[in-house]
Each structure stands twice: as C-alpha cells, then as structure tokens.
C-alpha cells in the first residue's frame, strides 16, 4: 500500500511538471524510483523512459489540439537524436550504477542552473541566425542524453528550440514533447531485456498518475507565471542533485 501511494504521488508530480514546463518530469521520476520505490539506477532509467514516453504522448496530444506543436521542425529536430538515443540506451546497461547516478545528478544540477538564469540572457541569443547544423547537433545531444540517463531531454529541448530554432515559448513546449516522445521510443527499443525485470505494479499506477497530472499541468501553465514555475522546479532539482551526488560519493 505504501508503494502504491508513493507511486501515485510521485507520478502526479512528474506529470504536472511535464505538462506545465514541457520537460523535466524524468529528472524527478528517476530519483523517485530509486530512493522512494527501491529501483536500481539501471531499472529506474528504463522505467523512467516508459513513464515519460506515455506521459509525453498524452501531453503532446493536448498541446497539438491547442496548435502548439510545429510538426515539421520538431520531426527534423527529433530525427537527429534517434540513432544517438538508441546507441546510448544500449551503452547505459553496461555502465556501473554509481556512474549513472553521478552523471544524472550532474545533469540535473546543470538543468537547474540553466532554469535559474535570467530570461533576458536567453532572449539575447534568440536573435541569432538559425543554423541547421546547430539544430542537428542539439537534437543529437538530446538523443544521447535520453538514451544514457533515461531522461526525455525536454528541460534542454525547450531552451534549444527557443534559441536555435527561435520558437516562441508555447510552441517550444509543445514541440519539445514531440522530441521527447521520439527520443524515448528510440531508447526503449534497445532496452527490451532490461524492461523484462521491471516492477509493473509500481510503474502502472506511477504512469497513470503522471498522465492525469500532465493534463493538470497544462492548465496550471496557463494560470501561473512561467518564470515562477521554473524557479520552483529548479530549486527542487538542485536539492535532488545534491542528495544524489552525496549518495553516490559516500
């Protein structure tokens, strides 16, 4: 019963984050699976991908109905990350668990710092010319990150779509969900053996709560200022990253 309650609560928070910010849900899902629900880092990254894939597709549907998804550009951006996601997903199973935990914590901390940066710094770069090579490099990097750490990459996809492709924020959030879904599916394709040993009694309610939370997250984003949501999420990420680093190093 305790595991079920924790799964529902954690799933709701993950979905709320993903729906409101267009990313970042998996940065909370993986630590929750490890420290609250007893998953190993390798199993948690695979389970995190499953949860994020289902939740992202659901959130993508709601944003597509609102006209926030730029399908052509999003597909091109995602395509660059498919092979890196698959390759990194295969490599992740061979890495020691402390390495995965440390790498995840570092990425979470960097994402938090990025979210805390003043909005004007991002806007200043947004005026630069769009370079296809830059978009492809960003897409490939996101794909590799998705495959290795079990994160959708939305926390990096959104600023990349704003600065590299010059999307406005709502289009960046909606389109990032397309990128997350594609990268997560590509990585999952290489993790079939790992997925066989997962605890579905935990993952199923976690995913269901995340899907419901994603719908609420989209409504929350329309009512609460984006910068306030980002700062709150960044503070949580920094705390999670610090805890994971201490746990990995001690």
Segment 203-233, tens digit of pLDDT: 999 999 988 888 787 777 667 766 777 777 7
Backbone dihedral region for residue 150 (phi beyond 0: left; psi -120 to 50: alpha; all else: beta): left
Instruction: State the Cα–Cα distance between residues 195 and 44, nearest whole angstrom.
Output: 10
- pLDDT of the residue at 228: 76
Segment 133-144, tens digit of pLDDT: 666 787 888 888
In three-state secondary structure terms, 73 is: helix
How far is CA 43 from each of CA 39, 40, 63, 159, 196, rounded to the nearest angstrom? 6, 5, 30, 29, 10
Segment 65-121, tens digit of pLDDT: 889 898 988 888 888 888 888 888 778 778 887 888 888 888 888 877 877 776 544
Segment 115-124, tens digit of pLDDT: 777 654 444 4
Nearest residue to 105 via CA among 250, 211, 210, 207 = 250
- pLDDT of the residue at 118: 65
Q: What is the dihedral of CA 42, 45, 51, 57, to 10 degrees?
A: -140
The whole-chain average pLDDT of the chain stands at: 79
What's the whole-number mean pLDDT along residues 34-50? Answer: 86
- pLDDT of the residue at 74: 85
CB 22 within 8 A of CB 223: no
In three-state secondary structure terms, 129 is: coil
User: pTM for the full model?
Assistant: 0.71
């Amino acid at each position: 019963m305790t595991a079920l309650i924790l799964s529902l609560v954690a799933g709701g928070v993950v979905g709320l984050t993903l729906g409101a910010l267009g990313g970042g849900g998996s940065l909370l899902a993986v630590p929750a699976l490890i420290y609250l629900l007893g998953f190993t880092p390798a199993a948690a990254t695979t389970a995190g991908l499953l949860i994020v894939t289902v939740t992202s597709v659901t959130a993508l549907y709601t944003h597509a109905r609102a006209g926030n998804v730029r399908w052509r550009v999003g597909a091109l951006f995602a395509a660059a990350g498919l092979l890196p996601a698959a390759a990194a997903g295969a490599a992740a199973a061979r890495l020691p668990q402390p390495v995965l935990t440390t790498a995840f914590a570092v990425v979470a901390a960097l994402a938090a710092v990025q979210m805390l940066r003043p909005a004007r710094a991002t806007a200043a770069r947004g005026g630069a010319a769009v370079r296809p090579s830059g978009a492809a490099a960003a897409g490939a990097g996101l794909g590799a990150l998705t495959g290795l750490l079990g994160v959708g990459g939305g926390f990096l996809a959104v600023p990349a779509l704003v600065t590299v492709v010059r999307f406005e924020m709502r289009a960046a959030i909606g389109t990032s969900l397309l990128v997350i879904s594609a990268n997560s599916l590509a990585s999952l394709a290489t993790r079939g053996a790992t997925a066989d040993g997962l605890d579905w009694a935990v993952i199923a309610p976690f995913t269901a709560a995340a899907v419901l939370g994603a719908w609420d997250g989209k409504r929350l984003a329309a009512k609460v200022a984006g910068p306030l949501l980002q700062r709150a999420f960044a503070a949580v990420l920094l705390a999670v990253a610090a805890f994971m680093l201490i746990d990995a190093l001690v």
